Structure 1
Amino acid sequence: MKIVLTTFLLFISTFIFSQEKFNNEKEIKNTQNYNIQEISKKVNETITIFGTLLTPKSNYNNILVILSGTGKTSQKAHNYLTNYLLKNNIGVFKFDKRGVGKSTGEYNDQPKIYTSDFIGIYSELRKLEPIKNKKIGFLGHSLGGIVTTMAIEQNVKPDFLIQWSAPIGKPRELLGYQIKNGIKNYNKSIIGKNKEEQIKSLNYIHHLIDKNPNKTALELWKIAKKESKKVNINKKSFSNYLTPIKVEFARINNTKTYQNIDFPTLVIIGEEDILVDPKQSKVELNEIGNSNIIFKEIKNLNHFMTKKGTSQLTNEIYNVDISFKKYLVNWIASLKS
């Protein structure tokens, strides 16, 4: 589907694009070989979320629920991976975000909204009798990984979890990492003459948010307007950052969720990811020290698990590398029944 740059741009960064054609969609091949069932959930009076369950016709044990990252990403975006999973006897469930594909309403993938919609459509999936005895795992890509942790916090737990290029700990840390990597999508939110000034302002605001956990964005702005002069930070540098949505995001911390995970979990990321820091992810997980979590870094791959030079303007962005696909399938196969 067409991806639109929004004020809540956090993950796709320079790869965000706007096109008239829906170039990131790809149809599933050989659908006659699979069982296909459409599922829908009316989450309120005007919004219905649609999803599709695809399962092998032969006997299978596992289903993977795919949660996409930021952007107007339809359930057809990850069909390269879907085809591979199905060929390897793993069922797949995907759904359209609100306002995308068949799902109605106005597009909105803020974490709370996305999580609420996911929990709704997932509750319908779990009602299906044919999958009662199947193991169901979540695969969250980027923002989708944050959504999985927020769902788990609401006691919506999978049998196993795969976090693909998803931030660990405080997801807000990716802003500074992206600024350091020369990504300029935050230049209007955090203003500075150079990267160092931007990161200094960002760190100041994040410290202020942490120090005042119950303050609103407006209340934080009033404090920062007075106090920022003392640390030689121009109030204009962060005025566009102190909005309710951004402050809400800055307060997300999934550390305790990872500490409490009691099911098999794989955190997998590309060594060349410039949107989410692989080193920071590893450090956070080492500090968490949960034996149920495995960390895997794949060399030469980026945020989308493709190699440098892959076209970002077509569905090729979702044509994930074979090493990534094989690792997922082998890891799922290794889980105890």
Structure 2
Amino acid sequence: MLLFISFNKISSQNNSDFGKGIKDIERYNSKEIDFIDSEENVKLSGTLIFPKTNYSKIVVITPGSGQNNRNSHYNIAEELLKNGIAVYRFDDRGVGKSGGKVNFGVDQIIKDLYYALNNLQKIDSLSNKKIGALGHSLGGIATIDVYQSGLKIDFLILMATPIEKFGKFNKPQYNSRRNPEIKVSTKMLFQNLQIPMLFIAGTNDSFFNSTETAALIHDLNNKNIEVKIINGLNHFLRAGSDDWKKTKEYQNLYEINPQALNEITSWIAKI
């Protein structure tokens, strides 16, 4: 196992309720792109939204736990599109147009992300694009695993992703679920990372200690990794604490802080 961290606080939420369409969608092109999990013969469905002008980068957004549809993290998607970056999001299993049964496990998130990325890379019209993965929370863990599997990914963004416990990198051997024979420590994985990666989190994240995580990553001195820890932001990169279920903020989880949005888009633009 990669983590011994509980995600019970968010595992049962139906995130498909929070999805919103892109504002001014007519300013962009969109294309429905389905892909198949060939191991289970399950079809999943997603949408690629891209600028009408030339673009060079695509971000595949992977949410954390819960039932997520292709409209999740709409705030990030809108900001990326405004900055000339294409976005691909897909419905979780059993949600929207995707087949299969709803599954909250990280293994399923990993499998689906793997097949989504693999499918995009095979599309001739996208062969000249840089394709990266942005994962939030458990979705970030999935992006790490898919990278470790050997599938080509051009860049990674880990958003509020717990990779440490008690001030140390997760101690268990990192055992790729896609390639079980690959075993490497979390520290070694980040130490040897060969592609650009942004790690972004807030100081008020109650799921892990973002400050300690930042220190651990900085100590690796890997120039491919950039770390941004923003004061006062919670697990969803919003201002305030993670006690959002008791407030109106629960209905606006994906409307993240403008500074965080700017950090993400600015970083992608320069790689």
TM-score where L is the length of structure 1: 0.68
* 3-state secondary structure, aligned to 1:36: strand
Task: Decide which structure has greater helix share.
Answer: 1
1:64-113 CA distances to partner (integer Å, 9 max, x unpaired)? Answer: 11111111121212112111111111100111221222211111242222
1:223-279 CA distances to partner (integer Å, 9 max, x unpaired)? Answer: xxxxxxxxxxxxxxxxxxxxxxxxxxxx99533321221111111111111112102
Q: Structure 1 vs Structure 2: percent identity of aligned residues?
A: 33
CA contact (8 A) 1:115 1:147 kept: yes
Task: Decide which structure has greater strand share.
Answer: 2
Aligned: 1:311 with 2:248: yes
Of residues 54, 60, 74, the one that matches 1:59 is 54
- C-alpha RMSD of the superposition: 2.7
CA contact (8 A) 1:72 1:107 kept: yes
Aligned: 1:25 with 2:19: yes
Aligned to 1:132: 127
1:30-78 CA distances to partner (integer Å, 9 max, x unpaired)? Answer: 2222111111122145521111111000111211111111111212121
Deviation of the 1:312 alpha carbon: 4.1
Of residues 80, 88, 95, the one that matches 1:85 is 80
Separation in structure 2 between the aligned mates of residue 137 and residue 278 of structure 1, nearest angstrom? 23
Separation in structure 1 between the aligned mates of residue 46 and residue 137 of structure 2, nearest angstrom? 20
The letter for the 2-side match of 1:167 is P
Which is further off, 154-163 or 251-260? Answer: 251-260
Show structure 2 runs of 5+ residues with no match: 174-182
Aligned to 2:89: 94
Separation in structure 1 between the aligned mates of residue 86 and residue 140 of structure 2, nearest angstrom? 19
Highest Rg: 1 or 2?
Answer: 1
Aligned to 1:297: 229
Separation in structure 2 between the aligned mates of residue 297 and residue 12 of structure 1, nearest angstrom? 24
Separation in structure 1 between the aligned mates of residue 224 and residue 58 of structure 2, nearest angstrom? 20
- Give matches, 1:156-195, under 5 Å: 156-169=151-164, 173=165
Over 3 Å counting, the alpha-carbon distance change for 1:17 and 1:154 in structure 2 is closer
Deviation of the 1:23 alpha carbon: 2.9
Separation in structure 2 between the aligned mates of residue 22 and residue 164 of structure 1, nearest angstrom? 19
TM-score where L is the length of structure 2: 0.83
Size of the alignment, in residue pairs? 252
Over 3 Å counting, the alpha-carbon distance change for 1:35 and 1:12 in structure 2 is farther
Deviation of the 1:157 alpha carbon: 3.0
The letter for the 2-side match of 1:300 is G
Which is further off, 109-118 or 76-85? Answer: 109-118
* 3-state secondary structure, aligned to 2:218: helix
